[in-house]
Structure 1
Amino acid sequence: AAAKGRLLETMQQQDLAVLNADDPVCAEYARRTRARVQMFSSRGENDAWLSGEKLMLHGRLLMEAGEIPIRGRHNVENVLAAAIAAAGAGLLHEQIAAGVRTFHAVEHRLEFVRNIRGVDFYNDSKATSVDATLKAIDAFPGNLWVILGGKDKGLDYSALRDPLTAKARAVILIGAAAGKIAAQLDGAVPLIDAKTMDQAVARAYTQAQAGDTVLLAPACASFDQFRSFEHRGEVFKQLVWGLGDRR
């Protein structure tokens, strides 16, 4: 946050700063920069904002939230911010909306892998913190099989209890942090000890039903079993693509 604040302090009057009106820290940033400030919000009217399920930009409809091809309320906020920046660069509403509709998810960030017999598999290996995993869970209506675990970063996983109780059929645990996570989630959701990624994918595949979603959102670093979060995501995708269509 401090580094971002220093960047804003170096901006000049001809520059455009795009800030989150819902974040109190950004209000302080706005006072510290000489740049033109435009704000986005998912809670109330601003330069860009979410009105129900409609994305508004400079007082006009940009697009419907359902047209965004990537999941997650946080990605709606990302689109609002990007729309302000794109408009500042001279793009029209129609051009911005067309660009959003054809956007493909970045690898390992709520990335859709495939559907097998009605079960969706999503790779969010970049979710290496509890906050990132909470956002991933929030992106789905329910019926989740969530793969958690890896190298512990000293985090408190108890914040996951209520969202998992509400949305998850089970949590599948892997890696060095499995024991700690199990202790902090005990009683909130069924827990399956899979230890490794291949076991986790196999257990999810055999138990998930049509309409369910298998979500890799580990809330941990990857370095106990993988070279990086990218490597972890690639292994997950390879395992999913290696599954047969029959169980």
Structure 2
Amino acid sequence: MRVLIVEDELYLAEAIRDGLRLEAIAADLAGDGDTALELLAVNAYDVVVLDRDIPGPNGDEIARRIAARPPGPRILMLTAADRLDDKATGFESGADDYLTKPFALRELVLRIRALGRRPADSTPPIVEFAGVRLDSFRREVYRDGRYVSLTRKQFAVLEVLITARGGVISAEDLLERAWDENADPFTNAVRITISTLRKRLGEPWVIETVPGVGYRMSVDAAL
């Protein structure tokens, strides 16, 4: 596993690096946002330990840039800001985990290892396709700038479709990914949910039915 530590407090950064190396985790250091971006451009990292308050592009900006180009490394925000609003902003920027200072090195190592075990193809917190903007953290949806109120099930179905970015998703896959294990495979719940979701999003319809196959976000609307 390879980790990038983005921290402007040199002694702390070196202590983290040395502690990770004792755990057989390779670690590089960046003391500012510009250096971090340079290292991210040339090296493949599994996890980025990212302080939010750094010179140059701050931690939130770095997180947004990483999340905008999946797949990328997992992000662990490391900061003294411990208010709930601060944490919310960090997660909205693309962080996968959040650890406040002061912290125990052992906990940091455990969190890094847990993040390293997750699949690499992470989904950014905000996805846009065919004029629809879905914010998975705030649970908000906009169509061409207009807020769209959705039920939890409609949101879950739209999230599966928009993440596929024009790929066809079968009704069976939607049942598996947006309903629980008790869902009846012969139910018409998918068809009904798609129908109401289309109406909520408004015309022109942005969800297409592919006869005999499934559903997809309109590729033409994305052009």
Query: What band does the TM-score fall into relative to the shorter chain?
Result: 0.3 to 0.5
